[in-house]
Structure 1
Amino acid sequence: MSQFLYPLVKLLQLIIREFQTLALLTILIYILVRKSKSSHLNKLINRIPGPAGLPLLGNSIECNVDNEEIFNRITSSKRLFGHKSGVTRIWLGRTPYVFIHTAENAEPILNNSRTISKSSDYRYIQPWLGNGLLTSSGELWHQRRKILTPAFHFRILEDFVSVFQEQSTVLVDKMEREIGMGQIVNVFPYVTLCTLDIVCETAMGRKINAQEDSNSDYVKAVYEIGSIIQKRQAKIYLQPDILFKFSSLFNKHQNCLSILHSFSYKVINERREELKKRRKDLEKSEYTNLEHKIKRMAFLDLLIEASDRYNLSNEDIREEVDTFMFEGHDTTSAAICWALLLLGSDQDIQNKVYEEILCTFDRTSSGKPFTTRSLNSMKYLEACIKEALRLYPSVPFIARKLNEDVRLKEYVLPRDTEAIIVVYNVHRDPKFFPRPEVYDPNRFFLPETSSGRHPYSYIPFSAGPRNCIGQKFAMLEEKVILANILQRFRVEAVDRREDLTLLGELILRPKDGIRVKLFPR
């Protein structure tokens, strides 16, 4: 028996030795590859100017500061380290972050269809938005973008103007009712509730009446989860999921998600039933074109209509509706409030806007609804909004995670770099915007002032293949709200721009709001 076992044992020993050798070889190759990649990354990143860091920690300790300080450090890094190249870098642990401050260096990233993956920092938003258009990448993003593009066709936007007008009227009536004329008021809360009402009605076809009931569970959940996301981004100890779960914010976060998702799913199911009923009613009538018959289709309706063709589940639809809700109210409210501050700081420019509004209607037509045609004729107001977005872009940073090496003017950014486009600084390049701190709407009103300007020197809605799908929607909404406010009130700014403390959070906002005085026209 032993004469048969002995060769078998020897064979097994040989196999084990070979397996161990192969395993060790595999581990060695893995270590060498990782070391080679790390060496390649370190070599390229450390060529870029930036502050010295600690071993393993990098610049993590320096970045663990308040929101206003981190915004100042990022924007001032161009002056301190990148005044020649327009590119700076820091290390957060072993992850390199490269800050892009110029149009020339932003273009190779934004105009590249292979560098559309969002930064890993967007993971804090994913529990709310899932794989919606903001957070998805690759083939999923391309598919969702294709599905959603028709939802922002100009004919559909025309239907939304009536919602903008209706909610803007609620806003100015509320301002007139609650704010003493000449009294100092922070306009941010008023405008934000208005844009929340607008985006909820256009996205889901539901009125939440946030302007009249800011204490509703849904409204409070929107604000609270935004605050929690900002805190996670700002505090290093809240970023790892395992630590966040042990924090006091985790239960609040989960409760907000429950409220927000439950509301969205409830509305989706209700709208599905409504659309089925309407379709049946139409089949009985002489009309067969559902989209023609249903006036003012909400964003959700269009998604439900597309769900059969593109195999979208309720969760897929919910992700896109929640994304629209998230992206569509804070950004526009910030743009409107910054425009009010700048117009309130220059009465001559504000008077020109007011005269343009009067030219659209007779002087006796105060309160008459604006139409798409009348809004399109307000070119100077549009220039004022664009210039406000230049100085104070609603989204001050655009963050991408590079999945391949990208060559800039002077440097090569290696794969796995977190690339941050500092829009706030890109918009202040004196090569393209002389006297960059001056508020001058003529930069966008007079054709000669914009000729020859770099196409990536002005990117408030990002640029390239991943630009903002809702920028026309946002511009129309901002024009309607500002036109209604300026038609009813003369606005006077209280604070000087240089005295404001800026917070670069999910949006760019002043720490203590925007204070103005309102006077009846």
Structure 2
Amino acid sequence: MDLYTALLVVPFAFVALVFAYVRALQYKNRFADSVPFAGVSPYPLFANDWELLRSSAQEKFEFLNRDFFSKQPRLFKAWLGPLMVFGTCHPDVIQAILTHPECVDKPFFYQFARLDHGLLAAGAHIWRRQRKQLNPTFNIRILTSFLPIFEACCQQLVDDLKPLVNGERFDALYFTTRCALDMILKSSLDTESFSDEESASLVEHIKRFLFISTNRVLNIFHYLEPVYRLSKNYALESESFKIYLGATRKIMKIKQQEMKGKPLKEDEIEYNKPRIYMDQLLKLSDSLSEKEIMHNVCTMIAAGNDTSGQLLAYACVFLGMYPHVQEKVYSEIVERIPPTQNEPITAEQLKSLSYTEMFLYECLRLCPIGPTIARKNMTTIELEGVKIPAGHFLIISFFNLHRRKDIWGPDVDQFDPERFTPERSEGRHPYAFLPFSGGPRNCIGSRYAMMSMKMMMIYLLREYRFRTDLNISDLKFNFGMMLCMPFEHWVQIEKR
């Protein structure tokens, strides 16, 4: 074959191979012919992926929500490279997925976060064992014992904000994430080994690590590890993960040394006394590998920091946007927990803050910290009359679930804590509001998050009044594992 002929034949052969591959993929997935497509193109390998590759993180978020979830009422399908995935934001379908015993596995791209032996990203067989072992570390007895720690951390937050009273605007997220990290370190991980500078650095590196590893999901070329290692993102992610992992090793080393010098008390041995998260992990070192312990400590640091810290930053912004709501929350707090109270705040007092809870729920409705999750079915399941073979990815958008007009009304984009009054909540679908996911693989730390966030609200509002120049229409978001804005959570404070 001469060069001229080769130049003609090779491109045609390549196109023919691609066409044959596409047709084979379509034939393989013909079982889903009745499910509508979402996105730019109904063909694998093409427009959807190029649209995502050329977009910024903010554009990716808007593209996925505009062209995928928001336009489909129940179940849809789309191509992610050569993979057919199914998506939904309908409560019926979400409930069917999250409660199905064969839908507790996670897709392979959760491994991009390098924590695939921890509760968040582990496969079903690892997760089932770990969840059973770690559930007791978040019982009400343990959480109640954390309240004095929460109070001390919140008082430090109040003190840190004092120089900013009546000053220029500042980023609330910087302070709330540091406070949340301080809480998780001193409570569930039982350590005080980090300086303010170390904590601030750790928060930033966790944020960067999660952002890069999550955005890798939408770049099909970076699915190939050798290709990804050549990218700039790999170097940045590795740098942040090294610091993240170093902090985790530091915590583990300190706790292991403490446990060697502190034998179990008789009542702990005899009655299997509940232990905090870190102690329980180390106690289970015979049944958990070192990697499992490491990944679970890493997961707790990231989840505890981002869940409470991110939400409280959004809460500060919403308080500034809606002064009348802020005053209602403040009035309830000072009525139920007077500033003159000398005794420690109790779990019963936190539970009595019903309007404060409604306010936090509305923050979580509009800004769910985990906006999107994915599951993988381990056996054939049936959704909406379609039998889906094992191994397919099921994408769930809590962000769009919480904005369905058929559930929340025509003013779905407006901030209104009254949506969560008992009267308006009556008859609402049990899977219409999922701030901490749902089913057996929901968030293990949901009660911890609510208790810590209520405590932060108490201390902040008893001391300060919040203002902001932002409007709700200004809120924009980046694609990521956590719901982050592309700009700061700008607020100002004044003394009450």
TM range (shorter): 0.7 to 0.9
Q: Is the CA contact 1:45–1:414 (under 8 Å) kept in the aligned structure 2?
A: no
1:402 Cα shift? Answer: 2.6
Range with bigger deviation, 376-385 or 213-222: 213-222
Range with bigger deviation, 511-520 or 454-463: 511-520
In 2 relative to 1, CA 176–234 (structure 1 residues): closer, same or farther, beyond 3 Å? farther
* Structure 1 segment 331-370 matched on structure 2, within 5 A: 331-365=307-341, 369-370=344-345
2:331 and 2:459 map into 1 onto residues whose CA distance is: 13
User: CA deviation digits over 1:437-481, x for unaligned, max 9?
Assistant: 23222222x212111111111111111111111100111111111
1:160 and 2:136 matched: no
1:139 Cα shift? Answer: 2.2
1:44 and 2:28 matched: no
1:236 Cα shift? Answer: 4.1
In 2 relative to 1, CA 297–417 (structure 1 residues): closer, same or farther, beyond 3 Å? closer
The residue number in structure 1 matching 2:49 is 60
Q: Is the CA contact 1:99–1:421 (under 8 Å) kept in the aligned structure 2?
A: yes
1:342 and 1:294 map into 2 onto residues whose CA distance is: 44
1:505 Cα shift? Answer: 1.2
The residue number in structure 2 matching 1:384 is 359
1:297 Cα shift? Answer: 5.5
Q: Is the CA contact 1:58–1:94 (under 8 Å) kept in the aligned structure 2?
A: no
* Structure 1 segment 498-513 matched on structure 2, within 5 A: 498-513=473-488
1:474 maps to a residue whose letter is: A
2:273 and 2:336 map into 1 onto residues whose CA distance is: 26
In 2 relative to 1, CA 341–371 (structure 1 residues): closer, same or farther, beyond 3 Å? same
The residue number in structure 2 matching 1:141 is 127
The residue number in structure 1 matching 2:249 is 265
The share of aligned pairs that are identical, in percent, is: 26
Q: Is the CA contact 1:89–1:96 (under 8 Å) kept in the aligned structure 2?
A: yes
1:241 and 2:225 matched: yes
Q: 1:76 aligns with which of 66, 69, 73?
A: 66
2:30 and 2:202 map into 1 onto residues whose CA distance is: 46
In 2 relative to 1, CA 73–147 (structure 1 residues): closer, same or farther, beyond 3 Å? same
Q: Is the CA contact 1:197–1:208 (under 8 Å) kept in the aligned structure 2?
A: no
1:60 maps to a residue whose letter is: D
2:314 maps to a residue whose letter is: W
1:335 Cα shift? Answer: 1.4
In 2 relative to 1, CA 291–265 (structure 1 residues): closer, same or farther, beyond 3 Å? farther
In 2 relative to 1, CA 355–407 (structure 1 residues): closer, same or farther, beyond 3 Å? same
Q: Secondary structure at the match of 1:274?
A: helix
User: CA deviation digits over 1:359-390, x for unaligned, max 9?
Assistant: 1233434x975332221111111111011111
TM-score, normalised to structure 2, is 0.87
Q: Secondary structure at the match of 2:408?
A: coil
Q: Is the CA contact 1:57–1:92 (under 8 Å) kept in the aligned structure 2?
A: no
The residue number in structure 1 matching 2:10 is none
Q: Is the CA contact 2:52–2:60 (under 8 Å) kept in the aligned structure 1?
A: yes
* Structure 1 segment 16-27 matched on structure 2, within 5 A: none
* Structure 1 segment 77-476 matched on structure 2, within 5 A: 77=67, 81-82=71-72, 85-126=73-114, 129-177=115-163, 179-181=164-166, 183-209=168-194, 212-214=196-198, 218-279=202-263, 282=265, 288-290=266-268, 298-308=276-286, 311-365=287-341, 369-409=344-384, 411-434=386-409, 435-444=411-420, 446-476=421-451
User: CA deviation digits over 1:488-511, x for unaligned, max 9?
Assistant: 111123201112221231211221
The residue number in structure 1 matching 2:19 is none
Q: Is the CA contact 2:431–2:438 (under 8 Å) kept in the aligned structure 1?
A: yes
2:267 maps to a residue whose letter is: N
The residue number in structure 2 matching 1:4 is none
In 2 relative to 1, CA 246–337 (structure 1 residues): closer, same or farther, beyond 3 Å? same
TM-score, normalised to structure 1, is 0.83
Q: Is the CA contact 1:265–1:314 (under 8 Å) kept in the aligned structure 2?
A: no
Q: Secondary structure at the match of 2:36?
A: coil
Q: Is the CA contact 1:427–1:433 (under 8 Å) kept in the aligned structure 2?
A: yes
1:261 and 1:200 map into 2 onto residues whose CA distance is: 15
1:426 and 1:216 map into 2 onto residues whose CA distance is: 33
The residue number in structure 2 matching 1:20 is none
1:339 maps to a residue whose letter is: A
Q: Secondary structure at the match of 2:188?
A: helix
1:271 maps to a residue whose letter is: K
Q: Secondary structure at the match of 1:132?
A: coil
2:260 and 2:268 map into 1 onto residues whose CA distance is: 11
Q: Secondary structure at the match of 1:399?
A: strand
2:301 maps to a residue whose letter is: M
1:257 and 1:38 map into 2 onto residues whose CA distance is: 39
Q: Is the CA contact 1:184–1:494 (under 8 Å) kept in the aligned structure 2?
A: no
In 2 relative to 1, CA 80–447 (structure 1 residues): closer, same or farther, beyond 3 Å? closer
The residue number in structure 2 matching 1:5 is none
1:257 and 1:251 map into 2 onto residues whose CA distance is: 10
Q: Is the CA contact 1:151–1:299 (under 8 Å) kept in the aligned structure 2?
A: yes
1:226 Cα shift? Answer: 2.5
1:148 Cα shift? Answer: 0.6
Range with bigger deviation, 246-255 or 91-100: 246-255
1:52 Cα shift? Answer: 2.2
CA radius of gyration, larger in:
1
Q: Is the CA contact 1:186–1:515 (under 8 Å) kept in the aligned structure 2?
A: yes
1:293 and 1:388 map into 2 onto residues whose CA distance is: 40
Q: Secondary structure at the match of 2:429?
A: coil
Q: CA RMSD in A?
A: 2.9
Q: Is the CA contact 1:383–1:442 (under 8 Å) kept in the aligned structure 2?
A: yes
In 2 relative to 1, CA 68–35 (structure 1 residues): closer, same or farther, beyond 3 Å? closer
1:61 and 1:147 map into 2 onto residues whose CA distance is: 43
Q: Is the CA contact 2:215–2:480 (under 8 Å) kept in the aligned structure 1?
A: no
2:293 and 2:401 map into 1 onto residues whose CA distance is: 35
2:271 and 2:87 map into 1 onto residues whose CA distance is: 50
Q: Is the CA contact 1:58–1:90 (under 8 Å) kept in the aligned structure 2?
A: no
Q: 1:486 aligns with which of 457, 461, 465?
A: 461
2:210 and 2:44 map into 1 onto residues whose CA distance is: 33
Q: Is the CA contact 1:105–1:408 (under 8 Å) kept in the aligned structure 2?
A: yes
2:50 and 2:394 map into 1 onto residues whose CA distance is: 20
